[in-house]
Amino acid sequence: MKYIIVLMVFLLSANGFAQKPVLHDLKDPRMHAGCYVDGKKNPVANLSEDGGALFNFTGKDELFPVIKATKEYPEAFGNKTYKIYIKETRSTKVEDSCIEEKGYSIKIVYKKKVYFYTRKGMCGC
């Protein structure tokens, strides 16, 4: 009986940890002038799409419309499942170009839980 209880606790805790949203590389990042969050090969986010931002949590690129931001996180995007809050933590201008390297703090609310990420990115002209 003791082993069954331990097994149940383990399975329930593993299920809770397995739900963390994963920022997958975008299939079509629509690279044009704008801001992007770096991924492995492609950006994980295009923050400058018309009407919102592109993210890929489920294996396909989705447009997340702009939602109400907070003082701490001035950019916000979301749908019924995800609320994504972004703030710029640093910005460095690349010499002799109009590109800025950025640092982002990302807060994602998913299933009433909050997850934090830090990522690099860039904005271009």
How many separate domains does the chain show?
1
Q: pLDDT tens digits, residue range 36-76?
A: 999 999 999 999 988 899 999 999 999 999 999 999 999 99
Integer Rg of the chain from CA = 17
The overall average pLDDT reported for the chain is 88
**The two structure tokens encoding residue 99:** 């590109």
Domain range enclosing 74:
18-123
Closest CA to 75 of 101, 52, 91: 52
**Alpha carbon separation from 71 to 87, 88, 97 (Å, rounded):** 10, 12, 31
The answer to whether residue 12 is domain-embedded is no
Torsion of CA 112, 63, 105, 88, to 10 degrees: -140
In a domain, residue 110? The reply is yes
Give residue 119's pLDDT. Answer: 96
Distance, CA of 97 to CA of 50 (rounded, Å): 24
Length of the chain equals 125
The answer to whether residue 6 sits within a structural domain is no
Is pTM beyond 0.85? Reply is: no
